[in-house]
Structure 1
Amino acid sequence: MQFTSASLAPYNTFGLTQTAEQLVLLTEREQLPHLWQAAQGMPLLVMGEGSNVLFTAPFTGLVLVNRLKGITVTEAEDAWVLKVEGGENWHQLVCWSLAQGMPGLENLALIPGTVGASPIQNIGAYGVELAQFCQQVESFDWHSGETHVWSAADCAFGYRDSVFKRGARHHLILSVTLRLPKVWQPVLGYGPLAELGEQATALQVCDRVCATRQAKLPDPAVLGNAGSFFKNPTVVTAQAEALKLAWPTLPVFATTPGRSKLAAGWLIDKAGLKGARVGGAGVHTEQALVLVNHGGATSDDVLRLAALVRERVEQLFGVRLEPEVRMMNGEGETHLDEALACLS
C-alpha cells in the first residue's frame, strides 16, 4: 500500500502547520489488514477531526484519519442501543438521536470531534459524561492486528480519562455502543441549564447548551483552537474551602468524598490572563479556558503560553493545572513538560 506525506493543517482545529510523513483516510474496515501489514514499525497516530490535539513537531510515522460511518439502532424494552462507527461526527450524532426521539446526549451537544474520540477523553459537559451511556467500545489493536471489544468497566473511565489514554493508546476505535434509557430525566445542575426548570424538554436543553457554548467558545473555523485547553482541577475539599474563603466567587463543585472540583477558566481569568499572548497564540478574551491561534501561531507559541498560564495560576492559587488537550510529538503522545523541554 502506498502512503503519501501531507500537511496536518486541515486535520487539526488549532490550524497549526505541522506535517505527517504518511497520511491515510480510513473509510472502510476492509482497509485495516493491508494498512496494518504495510505500516508495521511505523509510529501511528489515529485522528478524528483533530479537535483536541496539539502537534508539537512534525509526525514521523503514519497518521490514520478515521472516517468510518454508520449508525445501527437496536431497541430494548427499557433503552435504545446505538452502535455508532468511529468516524461519525459527535454533534451530528447528538442531533440525530434527538430527532429520532432518543434523548440523553443533549448536554454533550456541540462538543467537537468524532464518536471514535469520545471515549478516549470520556467527553463531558454540564454534569454529563460519555461513561454514563457507554455500553461497549470496539477497537483494532495495532500491535496484534486483532479486533477487541471493551465493556464500559474495561474502559476504566475517569475524569477526561480512559484506558485509551494510558495502556491502550495503540488501539484504533472502530465503534462505540451507547445505551440511552427510555426513562429520561433532564440534567440541569450546571450554569444556565438550571433556569430551564424540571419541565424542560431534551431539545430545550440541547438548544441552551448550544447557545451557551456558541456565546463563549470561539468557532475553530474562524479562530483556531482545540476547545478547553486545561482540565478543571480536582483538589482536597479543605483546600477548596480555604480558597473559597479567600475568593468567595470561586465556583466549587463536590466530586468524590473529600475532593472538590474547581473551575479552571475562573482561575485563569482571575490570574489576569484573558487576552494574554505569546507570539500568535493567545488566551481567549471571552473564555479563558481556551487558547487560540490568532494567526500564524506555532506550536512553540502555544506551549509557552500554556506554561505561562500554568505558572501564574499556581503562583496565585497554589493549584497546578493539567492540560486536557492531547499533545503529539514526532512519534506519539507527549506531555507539556516534555514538550517544553524540547523547545529551542
Structure 2
Amino acid sequence: MRAAVLEEHGEPLDIQNVDAPDPEPTGAVIEMEACGICRSDWHGWQGDWDWLGIRPQEGQILGHEPAGTVVAVGDEVENLQEGQQVTVPFNLGDGTCKQCRTGHGNTCENIRPLGFVESVPGAFAEQLHVPAADHNAVVLPDGVSSVDMAGLGCRFMTSFHALAHRADLGGGDWVAVHGCGGVGLSAVHIASALGGNVIAVDLQDEKLEKAKELGASATVNASDVENPANEVKAIADGGAAVSMDALGIETTCRNSVLSLGTRGQHVQVGLSTQDEQGMVSLPTDAMVMGEIKFIGSLGMAPTNYDEIFRMVADGTLDPSAVVSETVPLDDVSEKLAAMDDFETMGIPVIDSF
C-alpha cells in the first residue's frame, strides 16, 4: 500500500509502497477515505515533543485524523464489523485500564498517540491498523462524509472535550479563543453552539473572518493592538469566563490566562514547541488573587462521541464547516511546510490515497 513515511525531520515525507497491515486478534484494519493534516503532524514532522517521549523516528508513518471503512477485524473483536464507517481518536487507549473502564480513555494509563510512535503507524496511508478496535474505533452515523468527519480524530473532538467536559461553560459566558488554526476555529464553532459569546484572537485577518463565519461575536487581531489580553477584557466587560490557548506557545498561553476575569478558567489545549519544551512562565500572583483555574485537556474519550453526533444530527454542530480543502496524499508535505508560517486555514484533509 502507499504511505507517506518520515525519513528525515523537516524534509518532505517519502511516498512509499509498504506492507499493508493485518489485524491483531483485538484489532481492525481501516481502508482510509480521509485524513486531516494537523499541526500536531507538523510538530512530529519537525521532531518536536522528545520531552514527552513521542518524537516520531525515521520510518514512522504520520497522520492521526482518520476516517474510513473497516475491511478486516481480528478474531477477538466483538462490536465492529467489516463495512462499517469509522473514525479513530488519536489518543489510543488499551480499553482495559482504570481510566478506560471509567470513561476516560483519552488519558489511558497505556496511551499510544496514533502516528507518533512505532507501535501505531499513522493514517497517511491507504490502510490503518487500529489496536483494541472495540474501544478505539468509533462507528460514524449513517450517511456522513468521511472528509467532513476527519477532524473528529483530533482537532474537533479535542475542542469539544475541552469546552463541553473540562470547562464549566454557561450560556452567555464570554469565551476567548487564542489561535485560530484548526483547533481554534473548531473551538469557536463549538463554544458558540454551546451558548458562549466568543472572542477570537489571531494574527491573521483571514482566519478572524473565518472565525466570524463560525460564530465569533468579536475578534482581536493581536498584531494590531499593544495588549491582546486587555482588548479581550474590554470586550468581555472585565474578562472572559473561559479562555483557551489553542496554539501552545508561551505568548498565547499567557495572554489566555490574562484575558480572564475573576474566577475565570484557562483551558490549555495546544502543546508547546521547541522554544518552550513544556515549560511556560505564568502570572501566578494574578491567578491566586483572581482564583483563576488552569485546566489541561487532552483529546476526548471515544465513549463520548455520541454527544457530538447528536449535535450534528440536529444541526447545532457542523464539523464540515471547519474543513478548508481536500488534497491527495502526494501533497501532504506541501501542506506541512505551509504550517511553518501558519499559512493553512482550518482543516486540510487528504481524500485520495
TM-score, normalisation: structure 1:
0.35
More strand by percentage? 1
TM-score, normalisation: structure 2:
0.34
